[in-house]
Amino acid sequence: MAPNKRIQLCFLETACTGSYMASGQWRSSTDNGKTKDRLKYYMELAKLAERGKISAIFLADWYVGFDVYGGGLYTMLASGHQVAHLDPVPIISAIAAVTETVSFAATVSTSYVNPYILARQFSTLDHLTDGRVGWNIVTSHTKGAAKVMGLEKPVEHDERYLVADEYMEVVYKLKIKKIEHKGKCFTMSGRSQLHPSPQRTPVLFQAGTSKPGIGFVARHAEAMFLNPCTVKQGKKVIAEARAAAAAEGRDPASLKFFPCIVPIIGRTEEEAKKKHEKALSVVDAIGGLAQFSGYTGIDMSVFPLDEPFTSSTLKGGASIQSVLNAFEASTDSSSMDSASSEPWTPRRLGMRMALGGLHPCPIGSVSQVADVFEEWITEADCDGFNVAYVSNPGSFEDVVDLLVPEL
């Protein structure tokens, strides 16, 4: 590990039934994810995070839900996966009140939220939390989100980043002085209603890894949320983003990187394997497959569950093959899918998505999992992790009680 490099751990949470990448786990009798519509859940989570010296709770969010599989939301609703989805922003002030050091990052889209409204929201939260708030900047790409906002289709990918750039220009301006802004996408005349908050600007996260996304990160982000399967993939993206930041005149070391990781941790390897077996007993492969369809725009319901497929079978070919190749590259005896010699079928894909998905998924004793974390820090040059849970609250408790002391 790099000398004096501090590992920042974040809890990756979603304000809905189900985890970020673990469908079906709410069925477990010990899972508390069904209580996410009450503040007590988030207050207890925040207290746990503070006890474990966790840097931040990162709240992922999106509009509508994954409505591609089968042509609608029914499959996600029937699986109970990522449904009953609350707006994460109002949650922050309440959980900040029961903590002193842990921070909070909420996801809000530049595609549909007016920049004046957003600037006011996050300035308010920065005051109320005494400077403990971040904004995960996203652009919205799904047809479902566009339609509920009154549009026929979403803005095209590269154009969304041009809109987001101007959006950032507007929110940076909204300090004290009256602004007059007339651009291609936004027109605004007025001033912020708030006095400068402790951070002035919240910590800015972003997750895009396309060429426009990397450019946006280099110009605006302080931290980047990553979804690589392997150390090699993560290292490449991080190096590209640091180089892009340097080209913008920034110190590349000032940009921090947080890959998502989905560990199953035991005091012993045997205990971890038992936890994995328990997770498998309630896993929902169809829910995982529906999530994959939502990510890719490919309706996997039209393919027989147990018939092998390749990228040429699917509309979207090469991009899907890159996903499958990434899955294969990350498959080993310590991951949640060790069947690397088996062909890809929709069922196998759904199982993979239902337990860890696109992310590294180490299963092992606390020392074994800690070694994986350290490998990412050392080899990929990341700065920390967004840790997603499988069991709830067990996964986060294991991070606090087992992994943090080991690290």
Asked if residue 82 and residue 187 are part of one domain, the reply reads yes
Residues 62 and 181 in one domain: yes
Same domain, 319 and 394: no
pLDDT in the model for residue 331: 60
- Whether the per-residue pLDDT at 93 is higher than 80: the answer is yes
152 falls within a domain:
yes
User: Are 305 and 393 found together in one domain?
Assistant: no
Inside any domain, residue 338:
yes
85 and 147 fall within a common domain? yes
- State pLDDT tens for residues 144-168: 999 999 999 999 999 999 999 999 9
d(CA 107, CA 188): 23
Per the structure, the count of domains in the chain is 2
Distance from chain centroid for Cα 213: 15
What pLDDT score was predicted for residue 324?
Answer: 64
**Per-residue confidence at 208, pLDDT binned at 50, 70, 90?**
confident
- CA angle, corner 67, sides to 61 and 71, nearest 5? 175
Tell me whether residue 3 is in a domain. Answer: no
What percentage of the chain exceeds 70 in pLDDT? Answer: 91
Q: What CA–CA distance (Å, rounded) separates 201 from 188?
A: 19
Do 65 and 162 have their domain in common?
Answer: yes
Mean pLDDT of 361-380: 97
- Rounded to an integer, the average pLDDT of 101-118 is 97
CA distance readout (Å), 351 to 101, 187, 288, 339: 37, 47, 7, 11
Tokens of 392: 């709830």
CA dist., res. 58 & res. 106, Å (int): 6
* 2, part of any domain: no
Residue 112 lies in a domain: yes
- CATH number, domain of 246, equals 3.20.20.30
Q: What is the dihedral of CA 406, 106, 209, 295, to 10 degrees?
A: 100
Which residue type is seen at 259?
A: P
Give the model's pLDDT for residue 209: 87
What average pLDDT does this structure show over 375-391? 97
Confidence of residue 94 (pLDDT cuts 50, 70, 90): very high
Per-residue pLDDT at 2: 52
CA distance 351 to 333: 16
**293: which 2 tokens?**
């369809």
Question: Cβ(76)–Cβ(66) under 8 Å?
Answer: yes
User: Cα 266 to chain center, whole Å?
Assistant: 24
Instruction: Work out the pLDDT band at 176, boundaries 50, 70, 90.
Output: confident
Is pLDDT at 251 greater than 50 in this prediction?
A: yes
* Residues 246 and 338 both lie in one domain: no
How many angstroms separate the CA atoms of 346 and 349, rounded?
5
140 backbone dihedrals φ, ψ, rounded to 5°:
-95, 130
Whether the per-residue pLDDT at 111 is higher than 70: the answer is: yes
pLDDT at 5: 81
3-state SS track over 98-154 = CCCCCEEEEEEECCCCCHHHHHHHHHHHHHHCCCCEEEEEECCCCHHHHHHCCCCCC
365 shares a domain with 298? no
In 3D space, the residue among 403, 380, 399, 381 whose CA is nearest the CA of residue 391 turns out to be 399
| Owning domain of residue 340 | 270-353
What is the Cα–Cα distance from 13 to 393, expressed in whole angstroms? 11
Average pLDDT, the chain: 92
Q: Is the pLDDT of residue 332 over 90?
A: no
Strand partners, 136: 107, 205
Q: Is residue 223 domain-shared with residue 141, that is, in the same domain?
A: yes
**Per-residue pLDDT reduced to its tens digit, 39-50:** 999 999 999 999
Among 283, 286, 214, smallest CA distance to 250 is for 214
Q: Where are the alpha helices (DSSP H) in 7-57?
A: 39-51
Residue 76: inside a domain: yes
Query: Does residue 334 surpass a pLDDT of 60?
Result: no
Kindly state whether residue 260 falls inside one of the protein's structural domains.
yes
Nearest one of 9, 4, 8, 1 to 263, comparing CA atoms: 9
Which pLDDT does position 404 carry in this prediction?
Answer: 98
Match 């400077």 to its residue by tokens.
131
CA angle 85, 64, 69 (to 5 degrees): 110
CA angle 338, 342, 346 (to 5 degrees): 95
Examine the pLDDT at 338 and tell me if it is beyond 60. no
Could you write out the DSSP letters of every residue in 169-218? HHHHH-SSS-EEEE-SS-EEEE--SSPPPTTSS-EEEE---SHHHHHHHH
pLDDT for position 296: 84
At 207, the amino acid letter reads A
Q: What is the band of 60 on the pLDDT scale with cuts at 50, 70, 90?
A: very high
Same domain for 96 and 198: yes
Average pLDDT for 365-394: 97
Same-domain status, 176 and 254: yes
Inside any domain, residue 291: yes
pLDDT in tens, 274-331: 999 999 999 999 999 999 999 888 899 999 999 998 766 766 555 555 566 666 666 6
Q: Quickly state the pLDDT bin for 333 (edges 50, 70, 90).
A: very low
Do 274 and 333 fall within a single domain? yes
